[in-house]
Structures are given as structure tokens and as C-alpha cells.
Chains A and B, each alone.
Chain A
Amino acid sequence: MPAYRLPVALALGAALALGACATRPDPTDPEAVAEFEANNDPIEPLNRAMYIVNDGLDTLILRPAAEAYRIFLPPEVRTAIRNVLANLRSPIILVNDVLQGETQRAGTTAGRFLLNTTLGIGGIFDVAKDFGLLGHTEDFGQTLAVWGFPEGPYLFVPVLGPSNPRDLSGAAMGLASDPFSWLSGGELIETVTISRGALGAVDTREGLIEPLDALREGSLDPYAALRSAYRQRRANEISNQSLESPAARGTGFGAGTGIEGPRR
């Protein structure tokens, strides 16, 4: 988990230290002001710098790792890994279903967890799907939104990707309340926890190879496009309107690119 915390702390620290602020538009131009407010990106210069840092890290480390993962592991194995990771997230999804008062969705999540853990052999196979129990995601960021907390200014965090204070808080709450992260002590458990984090990162990035490539190649301003897409995607997830949002991870790229979800 330190792999997640460090960039967050760095970004927040840098934001406070630099106080880099976006230039406000001419107050007599209501459309420009409306757009500025809608972008809600007061520390845009710093966010853009973090975006460039992320781009470098991604080109050097994350994308190659995701490519290697795709090349060396057959699709069946990657699907199994994705299913196991999704199953491990079920308790958090269940908690958030309940916190949002979504009893039916909570029932679905509980049923999926029981079926997939037992018949699906530890979550390797998504058998619940064949029983008509389709997966969905929830996270504390969405719950905070349902409870009426404002999202706050846009933040771009290296490695984690697009976010905002509400989703970052949600991500921290998710880590803290994950029952699988309470296990501690043995070296084995440490290793399993770290592997799970690393696998989750590689798995997410693997599913985003095409969408992020398309964004880099096809966009005149990938930073601005990603900012807009992230907001829309999160709003959509919060509203629980779509059939499923396979990529949601609470914050970051997984929830943000919008173009297509990774393979299940």
C-alpha cells in the first residue's frame, strides 16, 4: 500500500507548498467564468505538471508492465485474476451498497460473494453471472457523493490518475475498511497484500492500454479530455444508471477513461 500513499502525499504536499493557481478568466465574460467554474481545476498548472510526471512514469514502467502482463499471461489466466480481484473487493462494495440504502444491490453483492467464493473457487470463476447476478461496483467516494458531499477541486495524482478530494478520501476509507487489509503479522500475508496491490495496478492498466493509447493519440489536449471524461464517468457511476461499470476503482484511471471497460 505505500506505493499508493506516497504519490498522494507528494502531490498534496507539493500543492500546498507551491500554491500554483490557475489564472482566473475575465470576470466580465460570463461564459468564460462559467467554464472556469465547471472545470473546477484551481490548481491546474500543478495538476498538469503531475500529469506530465505520470506520463513519464507510465511510459517507462506502467504501460510496459501492462504489456508484458498481456503478452505473457493467456487471457483465461488474466480473466481469472481479474475475477479474484473483483471478488476480493466485494465486501467493500457490499458496505457501500448498504451505506447508500441500496438493499437490492446489496443483496446482489452478497449473493455474488457467496456464490463466487464457493462454487467459483475463491472467485476465479464468475458463476454468479450465470445465476443472473451481474456485478456492479461501489466505493466510498460514491457513497460520500450520495450523502451530499461536494467533490471539491480536480486533482491529478501520479500513478493514481484523475481524482478529487472526495474520491481520494473515499479511496483512503476503502483501504482502511478493507477486511483483507486488517490481516497482518506474517510475512506471507504481507507478500499476499503487496501482490494484490501490484496485480490490481497491472490488471487495471492492462485493461486501459487501448483507451489510453487512443486518448494520447487522438486528443489535442489529453489532460483536459481526461478531466472531463473522469467527471462524467463518476457522475454516471454515482447515479447507478448504467448496467455495470467494470472499471470503477473509486478514483483514478480505472474510473476515468470512459471509453471502454477492461475485460472481465
Chain B
Amino acid sequence: MTSTPRRLLLVAAAAVATGLPLRGGMAQQVDIGRATAFIQQTGEQLVGAINAAGQSVAQRRERVAEILRRAVDVEGVGRFILGRWWRQATPEQQQEYLKLFEQVLIHNLSSRFGEYQGVRFTLGRTQARTEEDALVNTVVERPGNPAFGLDWRVAEIGGQPKVVDVIAEGTSLRLTTRSEYSSVITRNGGQVAALLQAMRNQIQQMAARAGG
């Protein structure tokens, strides 16, 4: 039983080691009121775009994607997710990864949110999580579905509040995707190139599905 706390410590140490230097210098202390207002505003924009009448699915999705690109710290999230492999990637790989990651992330999120027709959301409490970020709780309701908790982790990036993680019912997008990407790289002999190839294929499939 002594191994569990030690393991937690290791994980925490790894998280700190991989997370902090990446955002170093960019993140400042986050103001809770500002974070809440930011999520309120972004949430209203998203709900408006999702429920917009007289628009095609593709149009709605494009609008949702636009809002997300502005609200999410895509680069910070991307670096966090690549984690320990970021330093092993060449500068070219880093650049390509960030480009591919933005496409994958925005596509996945906007197609998910795009399905939430008739969605409503309510703000819950906001708490400071670390010195640098705050967690804003929202409850998402859709007709005919149970309400579920969607939490937004918000940090100040370059003087602007930005979303750095989305947590659905306790499951963090950042952590889940980090696990996934790291597994792809590890299983391919530690090659970041393998992940990039897999992401390129994924984007092609996404485009084929959208076209077909």
C-alpha cells in the first residue's frame, strides 16, 4: 500500500516536470472572476452557434470551430499533451505536430459540440486550482439526456484568459489524449514521426468522412 502514494508523487513530479517549463513565462496568476466571465461568454457564444436556426450542420460546425480556436490555448494544450516527447521532437516535428494537433482538436471538439442541439448550460462554482489556473464548473443539459458536468480549466495566457483543459464528468481531455499519444509513440519505438503519421492519416479520414 506504500507504493500508491509514491506512485502519485512520481506522477505529480512528471506532470510538473513536463508541464511547467512549457508554459513558463507565459502564464500568470488567474483571476477567478475573469475566468468565470470568460467561460460564461464563451459558453453563450457556443450555445448560440450550436442552436443557430436555419444553418446547415457544416455551417454550425465551422462557427463552433471558430469560437474554439479563439478560446482554447491550442499551443499550450498541444505541448502539454506531447509532454516528455516534445523535447525529443525536432523543431520541424514540433511545428508540424502543433499544426496537426490544432486540426484534430478543433475537429473533434466541434463535431462533438455540433451534436448538442438544444443544449443549455449553467455556470456552477469556480475554484482556483493552482496558482495559475482556475476550474470553472458548468452543467450541460440537452433535451432527453441527463445533465452532465463539464469543467473548464482556465489560465491567463499572454494576458488573455484561455481554456487549457476540458473535463467531462471528471475525465480530462488533456490527460486522456496525453496517454493516447504517448502510447502511440512508445509502441512505435519512441518515434515522434509515427504519431505525426497517424495524425496525418486521421485528418485524411476526417476529411473523407466530411466529404462523403
CB pair B171 A236 closer than 8 Å: yes
A218 to B177, CA, bound (A): 11
Chain B residue nearest to A149 (CB atoms) is B1
Report chain A residues within 8 Å CB of B170.
232-233, 235-237, 241-242, 245, 258
Q: Determine the main DSSP class of B at the interface with A.
A: helix
Whether, in the assembled complex, B67 has its beta carbon less than 8 Å from a beta carbon of chain A, the answer is no
Report chain B residues within 8 Å CB of A233.
169-171
Indicate with 1 or 0, residue by residue over B168-209, a CB within 8 angstroms of chain A CB atoms: 111110011111111110110000000100110010000000
CB pair A35 B182 closer than 8 Å: yes
Whether, in the assembled complex, B130 has its beta carbon less than 8 Å from a beta carbon of chain A, the answer is no
A39 to B84, CA, bound (A): 15
Chain A residue nearest to B205 (CB atoms) is A217
Indicate with 1 or 0, residue by residue over A231-253, a CB within 8 angstroms of chain B CB atoms: 01101110001111110000000
> Are A31 and B169 CB-contacts (below 8 A) given A220-B199, A242-B149?
no
Chain B residue nearest to A258 (CB atoms) is B171
Cross-interface CB contact of B84 among A31, A37, A40, cutoff 8 Å: A31
A135 to chain B, nearest CB (A): 9
Report chain A residues within 8 Å CB of B177.
225
Chain B residue nearest to A245 (CB atoms) is B169
A40 to B84, CA, bound (A): 18
Report chain B residues within 8 Å CB of A221.
180-181, 183-184, 187
CB pair A219 B180 closer than 8 Å: yes
A224 to chain B, nearest CB (A): 4
Report chain B residues within 8 Å CB of A33.
10
A210 to B113, CA, bound (A): 13
B131 to chain A, nearest CB (A): 21
Report chain B residues within 8 Å CB of A220.
180-181, 184, 195, 198-199, 202
Report chain A residues within 8 Å CB of B84.
31-32, 35
Cross-interface CB contact of A34 among B13, B176, B202, cutoff 8 Å: B13
CB pair B184 A228 closer than 8 Å: no
Of B69-77, B138-146, B152-160, the one contacting chain A is B138-146
Chain A interface category by residue count:
35 or more
A260 to B172, CA, bound (A): 12
Chain A residue nearest to B150 (CB atoms) is A260
Whether, in the assembled complex, A57 has its beta carbon less than 8 Å from a beta carbon of chain B, the answer is no
A101 to B147, CA, bound (A): 27
CB pair A236 B14 closer than 8 Å: no
Report chain A residues within 8 Å CB of B147.
243-244
Indicate with 1 or 0, residue by residue over B1-21, a CB within 8 angstroms of chain A CB atoms: 101100100110110011000
A187 to B184, CA, bound (A): 51
B109 to chain A, nearest CB (A): 10
CB pair B11 A246 closer than 8 Å: no
A246 to B18, CA, bound (A): 34
Whether, in the assembled complex, A3 has its beta carbon less than 8 Å from a beta carbon of chain B, the answer is no
Report chain B residues within 8 Å CB of A246.
146, 148
CB pair A38 B14 closer than 8 Å: yes
Whether, in the assembled complex, A259 has its beta carbon less than 8 Å from a beta carbon of chain B, the answer is yes
Whether, in the assembled complex, A227 has its beta carbon less than 8 Å from a beta carbon of chain B, the answer is yes
A40 to B179, CA, bound (A): 12
The residues of B with any CB-CB pair to A shorter than 8 Å are 1, 3-4, 7, 10-11, 13-14, 17-18, 84, 108, 112, 115, 139, 144-149, 168-172, 175-184, 186-187, 195, 198-199, 202
In the complex, besides A218-B108, A224-B179, A258-B168, 16 extra interface pairs with C-beta distance below 8 angstroms are: A30-B14, A31-B17, A34-B14, A35-B84, A210-B115, A221-B181, A221-B184, A225-B180, A229-B171, A233-B170, A236-B169, A243-B149, A244-B146, A261-B146, A262-B146, A264-B146
Q: Give the 10 A-B residue pairs with the shortest CB-CB distance, closest first.
A: A236-B170, A258-B171, A224-B183, A228-B179, A34-B14, A225-B180, A31-B84, A34-B10, A264-B146, A232-B171
